[in-house]
Amino acid sequence: MKRLFLVIVLLAVFSSCDLVNSITGNEKDSTVNLYPVLVDGDWGYINSKGVIVLEPQFQNASPFYEKLAAVRQSWGWKYINANGDVVIDGNFNNIGRFSDGKAAVQFDGRWGYINRSGNFVINPRFRNASSFSDGRAFVRSVDYSSYFYIDENGQKIESVNMPDIDYVEYNEFKDGRAMIRDNDLYGYIDKNGNTVVDLKYAEARPFSNSLAAVKISDRWGFISGSGSVSISPQFISVGDFGNGLAPARASSNSFGYINKSGEFIISEQFQESGSFSEDRAPVMLNNKWTFIDKSGNQITAPKFDEVQPFYNGLARVTIYVPNGDEIDELYGYINKSGDYVWYPTK
Amino acid sequence: MTNSLHQYKQKAFNWILLGLFTLALLTGCDLVNSITGNDKEQKEKTVHPILLNGSWGFINNTGTIVIDPIFELARDESDGLAAVREGTLWGFIRSDSARLVIETQFSSAGDFEGGLAPVQRPGEAYGFINENGSFVIEPQFDFAQPISEGKAAVRIDGLWGYVDTSGNTIVEPKYSDARPFSSGLAAVETFEGWIYIDEQGNESIKPTFQISTAGEFVDDLAPIETGDGWGFIDKSGSPVITPKYAETGRFSEGLAWFRDGDYIGFINKSEEIIIEPQFAEVKPFSENMSAIRLNNDWFYLNKKSRLITITSPFENAESFKNGIARVQLGNDENVRFGYINQKGDYIWYPTQ
């Protein structure tokens, strides 16, 4: 008992600066199920039942990631907690989402990374910076001359067999791999910067569910993390795997979904389709979007003009409403049954 | 009895632990500062110039006005005295007595060092006064620099030499430019570029390569510029950090800044890059902090963490001195000066 108490005291001494934060908050493993909604031009947040819990008051609002959400208020970007309290406010020009306990922020025109207390953990010394994933982040040097990955200390990831790389849109590490591009050919590196799949593909997509789509002589197939072909190239077009399925079209103008053996589980029938997330995938029919479940059943009739993937149980949907010469975008939320939790508003 | 005494002891022990625990909570963040604790008395007597309603006065280290703002201009204190100007004439205030001790009477005045300051009365030559304002070296120079290591560079008929604190010539005037002594050496400019002389005036460092700019020795290294760029020489004159940098500053607290292309970082004496080039402008480290400009604004970088820890934007920021630093907000007619502590909190909110 005595010893335990002493340990607690010692811990307190070492960590007292952070103690206040840890007492007031916020177990890392739970999520905040709040969703941004636009009401009469201001953003607020609803809960998963569609009840407004943070009054509309923000000029911009993002989803919660690691219990913090980026919002714009009084023309400044800040982070709020689930109570709507501004917990980080630091003269930022722009801010990104929290991941791996860090967020990219633009400060005096330069990008760096802050921790959950709002203190810099990597100085603002980049021209651009992306979110961390798997302990790595993609950045651009301040002098515009190069793109590279950094570790959590801000150190450049380098290896003998990694080329100087160009910009790629999908630059997050997934399944321990990042897609890289040099001289318009794509390959993959591991977290230490070793080129594990040679740069030989004219088109490629990032890893997801341990497979990556690559284009081999006009047909798309999938490779594993070692670079070996695991689904032979046979598709005209594919998307990324999610929940074990990937959008694909082999012989028609329509998309279906294949499993990891390359077999169609949901037949080719959709005009457009996106990856599964939380067991739902966006699909387009007759120029309108809806979602399907893993059996291919539509959860609502196709009626949305835009959709975002399901996140924390809800998906944001957009409908266009003509307003004179212009078109208003109204944002709503549906649940996994396809019911409106928040009817579209602007 | 024994049992209850034991219980009492146990309880007392727990209370002490709880006390420690609470103390730790309250003071944890300040603990390191208070352990390293500086000489408080010295700090309290330090004064810093402030601008209030268009006139300059002085505050002490806690942000209390100790000399009313009545001066047209005021400089930082040096050696316990600070130069102030009324109209066109300079005098000096003393920081410990917080009053004007040398009446404003000089058209030009340098900083006190070693108890003396170079001054010039209107229409007269430069001489040196002591802390009572009496000339101890009679006016006789075209120009004179403050004392450093007991010697001052002085100019006579366009040429620089050095005098000691009694006014005795120790280096005849023969150089086209001269810098203060540091670590027993002074940089002087000759027709062949800059060289270093020792305290007897002997040419102590005269390298085979030409030095086009020469800085002072700090911790046995001096920054120099050659045709190949900037580097550092040691006291024997050998270029221990090869001249190749676009620009370098002198060492301070073990680090020197260097510029690579458009961006500035810091190296240590072994020429290891300690802080990658990332700043547009920097001031040398002092009291473990360096003022740095990222893009438009100035902030402060912490030496230990190598991270920016003071993130309020300043128009300009100066080095820390006795725990506080002068910062500027606004410019031109709206210029305001304030002072912050090492946490970035104002001890004097910017005023104009």
Q: What tens digit of pLDDT does each residue of A183-192 get?
A: 999 999 999 9
pLDDT at A182 over 60: yes
Question: What global pTM score does this model have?
Answer: 0.82
Mean pLDDT of all residues in chain B?
89
Mean of pLDDT values over A23-34: 62
pLDDT at A22 over 80: no
Which amino acid is it at A334? I
As a dihedral over the C-alpha atoms of residue A114, residue A119, residue A125, residue A129, rounded to 10 degrees, the angle is 10
Of residues B17, B28, B295, nearest to A6 (C-beta)? B17
Mean of pLDDT values over B239-251: 95
Q: Measured between beta carbons, which residues in chain A are less than 8 angstroms from residue B261?
A: 143
Least confident of A6-10, A232-236, B152-156: A6-10
State percent of chain A over pLDDT 70.
91
Q: Could you report the per-residue pLDDT of B292-330, keeping only the tens digit for each?
A: 999 999 999 999 999 999 999 999 999 999 999 999 999
Q: CB distance B21–A9 less than 8 Å? A: yes
pLDDT at B4 over 70: no
Give B342→chain A minimum CA distance, Å.
15
Q: CB distance B296–A125 less than 8 Å? A: no
User: Does the beta carbon of B25 lie under 8 angstroms from any beta carbon of chain A?
Assistant: yes
- How sure is the predictor about B39, in pLDDT bands with cuts at 50, 70 and 90? low
Which residues of chain A have a Cβ shorter than 8 Å from any chain B Cβ?
A: 2, 5-6, 8-9, 12-13, 15-17, 19, 90-91, 107-110, 112, 119-125, 142-143
**CB-CB neighbours of A237 under 10 Å:** 15
pLDDT at A8: 41
Q: How far is CA B260 from CA A85, A101, A154, B265, B277, in A?
A: 42, 32, 19, 8, 7
pLDDT at B210 over 70: yes
Is-contact A32 A82, C-beta < 8 A?
yes
Least confident of B38-47, B170-179, B187-196, B288-297: B38-47
Which amino acid is it at B271? E
pLDDT at B43: 59
pLDDT at B28: 38
As a dihedral over the C-alpha atoms of residue B157, residue B158, residue B161, residue B163, rounded to 10 degrees, the angle is 50
Q: How far apart are CA B56 and CA B48, in angstroms?
A: 10
Q: How far apart are CA A125 and CA A136, in angstroms?
A: 16
Element (H, E) at B34: helix B2-36
Q: Could you report the per-residue pLDDT of A73-84, keeping only the tens digit for each?
A: 999 999 999 999
Q: CB distance A91–B25 less than 8 Å? A: no
Of residues B20, B29, B261, nearest to A9 (C-beta)? B20
Which of A16, A21, A117 is best to mutate for the B interface (most B CBs within 10 A)? A16
pLDDT at B40: 55
Q: CB distance B313–A91 less than 8 Å? A: yes
Of residues A9, A91, A109, nearest to B295 (C-beta)? A109
Q: Could you report the per-residue pLDDT of B6-23, keeping only the tens digit for each?
A: 544 444 445 444 444 444
Q: Give CA B18 to chain center in angstroms.
A: 44
Question: For residue A67, which of A53, A87, A37, A92 has the smallest C-alpha distance?
Answer: A87
Residues of A119-142 as b/e, b for ≥16 C-beta within 10 angstroms?
ebbbbbbbbbbbbbebebbbbbbb
pLDDT at A48 over 70: yes
Q: How far apart are CA A95 and CA A107, in angstroms?
A: 9
Mean of pLDDT values over B265-285: 96
Q: Measured between beta carbons, which residues in chain A are less than 8 angstroms from residue B294?
A: 107-110, 124
Element (H, E) at A108: none
Q: CB distance A121–B307 less than 8 Å? A: yes
pLDDT at B27 over 90: no
* 3-state DSSP percent of chain B in helix, strand and coil, to 5: 10, 50, 35
Which of B18, B281, B299 is best to mutate for the A interface (most A CBs within 10 A)? B299
User: Does the beta carbon of B278 lie under 8 angstroms from any beta carbon of chain A?
Assistant: yes
Element (H, E) at B227: none
pLDDT at B118 over 50: yes
pLDDT at B23: 42
For the sheet with A272-273, list strands across it. A272-273, A281-285, A288-292
Of residues A17, A120, A124, nearest to B29 (C-beta)? A17
pLDDT at A329 over 50: yes
Q: Measured between beta carbons, which residues in chain B are less than 8 angstroms from residue A151?
A: none
pLDDT at B1: 39
Q: CB distance B25–A6 less than 8 Å? A: no
DSSP assignment, residue A300?
S
Q: Could you report the per-residue pLDDT of A290-314, keeping only the tens digit for each?
A: 999 999 999 999 999 999 999 999 9
Q: How far apart are CA A140 and CA A167, in angstroms?
A: 9
User: Does the beta carbon of B15 lie under 8 angstroms from any beta carbon of chain A?
Assistant: no
Structure tokens of B24? 């730790």
DSSP assignment, residue B210?
P
Q: CB distance B297–A142 less than 8 Å? A: no
Give A108→chain B minimum CA distance, Å.
6
Sort B332 into a burial class: Cβ within 10 Å, 0-12 / 13-18 / 19+.
exposed
Is-contact B68 B60, C-beta < 8 A?
no
Is-contact A248 A256, C-beta < 8 A?
yes
Question: For residue A247, which of A314, A202, A296 has the smallest C-alpha distance?
Answer: A296
State percent of chain A over pLDDT 90.
89
Mean of pLDDT values over B24-38: 40
Q: Measured between beta carbons, which residues in chain B are less than 8 angstroms from residue A120?
A: 307-309, 311
Q: How far apart are CA B122 and CA B4, in angstroms?
A: 86
Of residues A9, A90, A107, nearest to B17 (C-beta)? A9
pLDDT at A25 over 60: no
Please enumerate in sequence order all residues whose Cβ is within 8 A of that of A243, keeping only pairs 6 or more positions apart, or say none: A209, A276, A277, A278, A279, A294
pLDDT at B45: 77
- Nearest residue in chain B measured CA to CA from A20: B25
pLDDT at A23: 39
- Nearest residue in chain A measured CA to CA from B279: A125
Of residues B13, B262, B308, nearest to A124 (C-beta)? B308
Q: How far apart are CA B146 and CA B110, in angstroms?
A: 6
Residues of B100-138 as b/e, b for ≥16 C-beta within 10 angstroms?
bbbebebebbbbbbeebbbbbeeeeebbbbebeeeeebe
Q: How many helices (H) and strands (E) does chain A have?
A: 1, 30
Q: How far apart are CA A181 and CA A203, in angstroms?
A: 10
Q: How far is CA A83 from CA A24, A42, A55, B271, in A?
A: 12, 17, 11, 50
Q: CB distance A109–B294 less than 8 Å? A: yes
